[in-house]
Amino acid sequence: MKKIPDRKQSVAELLYNTVKNLVEGNMGKKYKSFIPYIGTLAIYIILINIGPLAIGVRTPSEDLSVPAGLAIITFVMVQYTAIRRAGIGHYLLAYGKPAAPLLPINIIERLVLPVSLSLRLFGNMTAGAVIVGMVYKGLAGIAWPAQFIIPIPLHGFFDLFDGSIQMLVFVMLTMMNIKIVAEEAEGEEA
């Protein structure tokens, strides 16, 4: 690191501080160890969502295996964090909160997390690609120059804006689930 940062170092510091503020603002200072995970997740998702636009290929988010893999990693991270912070006993007892008859519902709630995360990312990115693809096919019958001008705002919305929003949603849900599940197991207010 340089005392007078160059452009690369300035961008890296800005990115790090943004993720640090996001994690500490939403999870609290005691979760700052998640800054590398959340930062990596955010960078990876934004790159796979908007990167392919630059080279004209299909986004990896349109293949269910990529969002499912990210969701499974997050699911494991959530459960691991809760066990590590509260211990296995308190972790298992948290499934029976606030009342023991809710045990099946609490188990289903935890298992739905990876399904929800993966289908949300996959569904939104695939829906955008389908809509843009339909516009291209519709414009093919009109005139080929129309395919270069009319879809630009659609790419701006579905690829850039929606891709960024889906990254933010995935990251925010990851942070909230890590915090809530860990604090439920510890017996704290989330």
Tens place of pLDDT for every residue, the chain, 190 residues?
A: 777 878 888 998 999 999 999 999 999 999 999 999 999 999 999 999 988 887 778 889 999 999 999 999 999 999 999 999 999 999 998 888 888 888 999 899 999 999 999 999 999 999 988 998 888 888 877 877 777 788 888 888 888 899 999 999 999 999 999 999 999 888 865 4
- H or E element that contains 64: none
Report the C-alpha gap between 78 and 38 in whole angstroms: 12
Residue 116 lies in a domain: yes
Residue 1 lies in a domain: no
Total domains present in the chain:
1
Q: Identify whether 62 is part of a domain.
A: yes
* The pLDDT value given to residue 190: 46
Two structure tokens written together for 78:
């959530």
Residue appearing with tokens 């994690």: 23
The number of angstroms, rounded, from the C-alpha of 47 to the middle of its chain's C-alpha atoms is 12
The pLDDT of residue 188: 60
Q: Could you tell me if residue 2 is inside a domain? A: no
Between helix 7-27 and helix 35-55 the angle, nearest 10°, is: 120
Contact status, residue 108 vs residue 116, Cβ threshold 8 Å: no
147 falls within a domain: yes
Residue 91 inside a domain? The answer is yes
Q: How far apart are CA 107 and CA 94, in angstroms?
A: 10
Residue with tokens 């800054």: 35
Q: Is residue 182 part of a domain?
A: yes
Tokens 């045990």 appear where?
103
N- to C-terminal Cα distance for the chain?
37
Backbone conformation region of residue 187, classed left if phi is above 0, alpha if psi is from -120 to 50, else beta: left
Instruction: Specify if 140 maps to a domain.
Output: yes
Instruction: State how far the Cα of 165 lies from the Cα of 171, in Å rounded to an integer.
Output: 10
Q: 64: domain range? A: 7-186
How many Å apart are CA 174 and CA 22, to the nearest integer? 12
- Encoded amino acid at 102, one letter: L
Nearest to 68 by CA among 128, 23, 132, 125: 125
Q: Would you state the pLDDT for residue 151?
A: 81
